[in-house]
Amino acid sequence: MILTAINDVSLVLQKKKATIDVEVKNLESLLDNLQILRKQWNAILKECRTVSEHLTTTTSTFSVSRKKKRVEVTPENSDEDYTDEEIDFKRNTFFVIMDQIIAGIRNRFASIRAINNMFSFLWLFPKMEVEEVQTAALRFAEKYPADIVRNHSLKNRLSS
């Protein structure tokens, strides 16, 4: 489930016609989907149990590498229907991995969001109001004054 969600977004982003705004929308959607998956531990464990019933292995339990002291019970970690091994796996493996994946995607693509915010008016201007385009162009010109505004004519034209 997790790898499928990541792969689906990756395939979209690899297309030649993918733009930065499409990338941002897909990454935001991926992050939302990963947050939903993180909350679906019960369904994931149930599916794992179903799959494991059809395997020919002799063991169907989680192994515990180390014991940790009990954590205060919250809705997220309420585990009365699970074995200690399943609880340990959920808390010390599943949540840790999901949190690392989500944090990694957020960190890596924060710059893409910033780039999109700065440059998107260049391809979205037909759908924008004149004032929005002017504001975005002025912000862009102020961010890159040496590259965009060698004289103040652009700034003056946009301001008027």
Residue 48 in this model has a pLDDT that exceeds 80: yes
Q: Is residue 32 a contact partner of residue 39, using CB atoms and an 8 Å limit?
A: no
Tell me the pLDDT band of 73, cut-offs 50, 70 and 90. very low
DSSP the chain: -HHHHHHHHHHHHTSTT--HHHHHHHHHHHHHHHHHHHT-HHHHHHHHHHHHHTS--S--S---SS--PPPPP-GGG--TTS-HHHHHHIIIIIHHHHHHHHHHHHHHHHHHHHHHHHHTHHHHGGGS-HHHHHHHHHHHHHHSHHHH-SSTHHHHHHH-
Q: What is the dihedral angle through the alpha carbons of 125, 128, 130, 132, rounded to the nearest 10 degrees?
A: -100
Q: pLDDT band for position 64 (50/70/90)?
A: low
Is the model's pLDDT at 107 over the cut of 50?
A: yes
Whether pLDDT at 68 is above 70: no
pLDDT score for 22: 86
Query: Is the pLDDT at 74 greater than 80, yes or no?
Result: no
Question: What average pLDDT does range 86-99 have in this prediction?
Answer: 92
Report the alpha-carbon distance of residue 151 to residue 145 in Å, rounded.
9
The pLDDT score that the predictor gives to residue 57 is 62
Of 14-23, 40-49, 121-130, the range with the lowest mean pLDDT is 14-23
Residue 123: per-residue pLDDT: 87
What's the mean pLDDT when you consider all of the chain?
A: 81
pLDDT for 59 equals: 59
pTM, whole model, 2 decimals?
0.65
Query: 129, 122, 133, 134: which is closest to 158 by C-alpha?
Result: 134
Find all residues with CB under 8 Å of 94, minimum gap 6, and list them.
Answer: 41, 44
User: What is the pLDDT, as a whole number, of residue 28?
Assistant: 92
Find, among 35, 4, 17, the residue nearest to 99 by Cα: 35
